[in-house]
Amino acid sequence: MVTWNTNKRIVRILLVGDPGVGKTSLILSLVSEDFLEDVPPKAEEITIPADVTPEQVPTNIVDYNASEQNDDSLHEEINKAHVVCIVYSVEDESSMDRISEYWLPLIRDSVNESEQRKPVVLVGNKIDLIDYSTIDNVLGIMEDFPEVESCVECSAKTLHNISEMFYYAQKAVLHPAAPLYSMEDQDLTEKCKKALVRIFKICDIDGDGLLNDFELNHFQRRCFNAPLQPQVLEEVKAVLSKNVPDGVVNDAVTLKGFLFLHCLFIQRGRNETTWAVLRRFGYNETLEMSKEYLQPAIKIPPGSSTELSHRGQQFLTMLFERNDRDLDGALSPDELKSLFSACPALPWPSLSDLRRIVPTNEKGWLTLHGWICRWTLQTLVDLPRTLEYLAYLGFNVHENESQLTAIQVTRERRLDLAKKQSNRTVYMCHVIGPKSAGKTALCRALIAEDMKRLLERDFRSGSHYCINSVQIYGQEKHLVMRDIEVRQVLDPLQPQDVHCDVACLVYDTNNPKSFEYIARIYIKYFAESKIPVLITGTKGDLAEVRQEYLLQPAEFCQKYKILPPQIFSLKHNKKDLYVKLATMAAFPRFQAAWILFYRHRLEHLWDSTNLRHFGLMSSDPQLWWKAGIGLAAATCFGYFIVKLFQRSTPS
């Protein structure tokens, strides 16, 4: 079935024309299926129910009579109508001249300039009175006035072409030719071509610039819910081979052939076919993709987040595989550009930034893993863009439904807390700390294969996000590290800087003034919140210095009953920090339980290794390391407890 513009729930047809041309007779002949000799000057407005009209749309038909109506009322009626039929009498030349001299300019003047031109159908009545055709005369008018959609000759007396006339009028509203085709150029309009080129690219599954039988069939099924008969397919190709040089290459349809085919449909009055294709790919009556199509309404309760659904991931994986032409497992800049060629622009303006955001191969190109990471990040932080690009990339056509099925809205955070577990797969970690504490390095290390290569890097440019997957209990989750930029030490944090699944407060173990900042941040923003916090000392490979603050980091953590400080170093880190952060995000409520448990273990550890005072006086990184390893062991044990607890708690 043809999908049509749902904005127009009713089609309003107005008949105008000189006195005596037969307007009232046409309307009454249609309704009564009989010619009445004696008709009133003006017919009552009638409504034809949807089920008896060819396009299944309720239709109003409105008459006009010059002696009963003034100019104002005529203007008003023209504005209210969706299409105007200008009726002339084929045996009365002056009524024909008046089409372009009077009626068409009048209709143009009645409509606001900002609005689209009102579509017009020219109707030559009383064809029973002559034995020749006037169509050639009106074709010239069609060229001068592109709003004239079609012309038809008919007779109210013999009922010849009466229902056709009303069908053309309906069609002029529902499937107008004007936006698609320029009579003057005898070619598709630029906008229409642009839309069809995009459609061609989406349908060109293997990206070879041709639509082969499989792709044409796929296209046909998506647009019309029916396969293409092999015989029809051959006929189409035969027509193309005959009419367009290079219309068919290697037994497949070229872009040139595809455009020609649509030209042909429209020239033969089959606009509805082209419109059906365009609408299926999201275009509205002005050949634009509407806002509702690009960004359908979606309700996201406060405290919920957005992730890619399985369907969304499948579609993106398919796109990746389709576009990795050289099968090297990564998208080169050219492959990436070609993948997005059906979109108005690249979703990520700087391709060179990608390597700073997601895992890439050694050339900085997106691997499938990095590609999914990039979309996962975007879906979390910029859902409208994900929805928009899924639409451009043809998700809706491919999956036969709205792009909302590519999205998973997670349960509200407070419910996660109440149930003591979360079904999320993507967690946001905010990395907060004073200037030069090593925040960006800590974020980037999440995606770096070889951490040592990050050591001498300049981190100033680029995105504030890094994303990679981490394993929690053998399950793959995504962790996003967001670098929260600190401008001035005394600047307050904004709610959007604080709100996250887990916070990593970072200080520089090598700088005595570093810890105070995050201690204050913790007390001010996190001490009372339910957000799990991990305090992390960076540059663990350098000499650790005593912090100029009331409490040393370990004491501070003990006082506030949070996990002891973790020590991180680009040189030695084994990435367990990220697993820890993700686990804390996944099981936020268990933090207190962990601490109680650790307390016992740690006290033992501290006693036995004489580390009780390491936060106060130790400057030996070795000691930090031992503590770190001990903590890692304790953490593992902590997870184990969590696991047991989880099992015994019905979800």
Tokens (6 digits) for 539: 């540059």
The one among 134, 155, 323, 332 contacting ligand GTP by CB under 6 A: 155
Please say which residue, 81 or 502, places its beta carbon nearer to Mg ion.
81
Backbone angles phi, psi at 614, to 5 degrees: -60, -30
Q: Which of 452, 609, 630, 430 is nearest to 536 (CA)?
A: 430
Tell me which of Mg ion, ligand GTP, none is bound by residue 634, counting a contact when its beta carbon lies within the kind-specific cut-off of 5 to 8 angstroms.
none
| Alpha-carbon dihedral 289, 293, 294, 300, rounded to 10 degrees | 160
**Residue 299 in tokens:** 């309700």
Query: Quick one: which segment of 15-23, 377-385, 510-518, 544-552 binds ligand GTP (CB under 6 A)?
Result: 15-23
Q: Which residues contact 420 (CB under 8 A, 6 or more apart)?
A: 587, 589, 590, 645, 646, 649
Q: Considering the complex, what minimum distance in angstroms separates the CB of residue 172 from ligand GTP?
A: 20
Closest CA to 454 of 601, 568, 589, 304: 568
Q: Which is nearer to Mg ion, 44 or 143 (CB)?
A: 44
Determine the interface stretch with ligand GTP among 33-41, 132-140, 176-184, 503-511 (rule: CB under 6 A): 33-41
Does residue 125 touch ligand GTP according to CB under 6 A? yes
Nearest alpha-carbon partner for 17 in 50, 66, 58:
66
Least distance between ligand GTP and beta carbon 13 (Å): 15
Q: Which is nearer to Mg ion, 15 or 210 (CB)?
A: 15
| Residue 139 contact, options ligand GTP, Mg ion, none, Cβ 5-8 Å cut-off depending on partner type | none
Q: Does 157 bind ligand GTP (CB under 6 A)?
A: yes
Interaction partner, residue 412 (ligand GTP, Mg ion, none; CB < 5-8 Å by kind): none
Per this entry, what is the length of the chain?
A: 651
Residue 155 touches which member of ligand GTP, Mg ion, none, C-beta under 5-8 Å by kind: ligand GTP
Q: x/- site string to ligand GTP, residues 365 to 384, per CB under 6 A? A: --------------------
User: Residue 208 phi/psi, 5° resolution?
Assistant: -95, 10
Instruction: Give the containing element (helix H, strand E) for 55.
Output: none
Which of ligand GTP, Mg ion, none does 422 bind, CB closer than 5 to 8 A by kind? none
Q: What SS3 string covers 576-635?
A: HHHHHHHHHHHCHHHHHHHHHHHHHHHHHHHHHHCCCCHHHHCCCHHHHHHHHHHHHHHH
SS3 content of the chain, % helix, strand, coil (to 5): 45, 15, 40
Rounded Cα distance, 159 and 379, in Å: 59
Q: Could you say which of 128, 164, 353, 412 contacts ligand GTP (CB under 6 A)?
A: 128
Closest approach of Cβ 98 to ligand GTP, in Å? Answer: 12
**Residue 438 binding partner per list Mg ion, ligand GTP, none, with a CB distance cut-off of 5 to 8 Å that depends on partner kind:** none
**Cβ nearer to ligand GTP, comparing 126 with 201:** 126
Q: Tokens representing 524?
A: 């001010």
Quick check: 37 binds ligand GTP (CB under 6 A)?
yes
Q: What is the CA radius of gyration of the chain?
A: 35
Stretch that binds ligand GTP, among 71-79, 112-120, 149-157, 599-607 (CB under 6 A): 149-157
Regarding 198 and contact with ligand GTP (CB under 6 A), the answer is: no
Cα–Cα dist 464/439, whole Å = 10
Q: Which residue is nearest to ligand GTP (CB)?
A: 22
Distance of alpha carbon 368 from alpha carbon 383, whole angstroms: 20
| Measured distance CA(30)–CA(514) in Å, rounded | 87
22 binds, among Mg ion, ligand GTP, none (CB under 5 to 8 A by kind): ligand GTP
> Which of the choices ligand GTP, Mg ion, none does residue 621 contact, using the CB cut-off of 5 to 8 A by kind?
none
Decide whether 41 or 333 has the Cβ nearer to Mg ion.
41
Task: Please check whether residue 48 is in contact with residue 10, taking contact to mean a CB–CB distance below 8 angstroms.
Answer: no
Among 3, 8, 10, 20, binds ligand GTP (CB under 6 A): 20
Segment near ligand GTP (CB under 6 A); pick from 125-133, 313-321, 428-436, 473-481: 125-133
Instruction: Write the CB contacts of 256 (distance below 8 Å, at least 6 apart in sequence).
Output: 244, 246, 247
Q: How far is the CB of 108 from ligand GTP (least distance, A)?
A: 21
User: Three-state DSSP class for 179?
Assistant: coil
Q: How far is the CB of 16 from ligand GTP (least distance, A)?
A: 9
Which residues neighbour 452 within 8 Å (Cβ) at sequence distance 6 or greater? 570, 571
In whole angstroms, give the CA distance from residue 446 to residue 479.
9
Residue carrying the six token digits 């008969």: 229
User: Among residues 501, 518, 516, which one has the least CA distance to residue 549?
Assistant: 516
Contact by Cβ (8 Å): 240, 258: no
Q: Is residue 98 a contact residue for ligand GTP (CB under 6 A)?
A: no
Task: Determine the interface stretch with ligand GTP among 122-130, 211-219, 432-440, 633-641 (rule: CB under 6 A).
Answer: 122-130
Closest to Mg ion by CB, 2 or 106: 106
Q: Does 84 bind ligand GTP (CB under 6 A)?
A: no
What is the binding site for Mg ion (CB under 5 A)?
24, 41, 65
| Residue 175 binds ligand GTP, judged by CB under 6 A | no
What would the two tokens of residue 32 be?
A: 């009564």
Could you count the other beta carbons within 10 Å of the beta carbon of residue 355? 20
**E strands in 358-406:** 366-367
Spatial distance between the Cα atoms of 617 and 596, rounded to a whole number of angstroms: 25
Question: Are the CB atoms for 485 and 601 separated by under 8 Å?
Answer: no
**What does the block give as tokens for 55?**
């396009």
**Among Mg ion, ligand GTP, none, what does residue 128 contact (CB within 5–8 Å per kind)?**
ligand GTP
Shorter beta-carbon distance to ligand GTP: residue 157 or 356: 157
- Quick check: 489 binds ligand GTP (CB under 6 A)? no
Count of residues that interact with ligand GTP, criterion CB under 6 A = 20
Specify the residue, 61 or 563, whose C-beta has the smaller distance to Mg ion.
61
Burial of 106 (0-12, 13-18, 19+ CB in 10 A): middle
Asked if 24 is part of the footprint of ligand GTP (rule: CB under 6 A), the reply reads: yes
Per-position x/- string for 40-79, each x denoting binding to ligand GTP as judged by CB under 6 A, each - no binding: -x-----------------------xx-------------
Neighbours of 413 (CB within 10 A): 20
Query: Stretches 17-25, 387-395, 442-450, 536-544: which one binds ligand GTP (CB under 6 A)?
Result: 17-25
Regarding 25 and contact with ligand GTP (CB under 6 A), the answer is yes
- Among Mg ion, ligand GTP, none, the one that 227 touches (CB under a kind-dependent 5 to 8 A) is none
Name the minimum Å distance from CB 25 to Mg ion: 8
**From 124-132, 134-142, 240-248, 365-373, span contacting ligand GTP (CB under 6 A):** 124-132
- Site for ligand GTP, rule CB under 6 A: 17, 19-25, 37, 39, 41, 65-66, 125-126, 128-129, 155-157
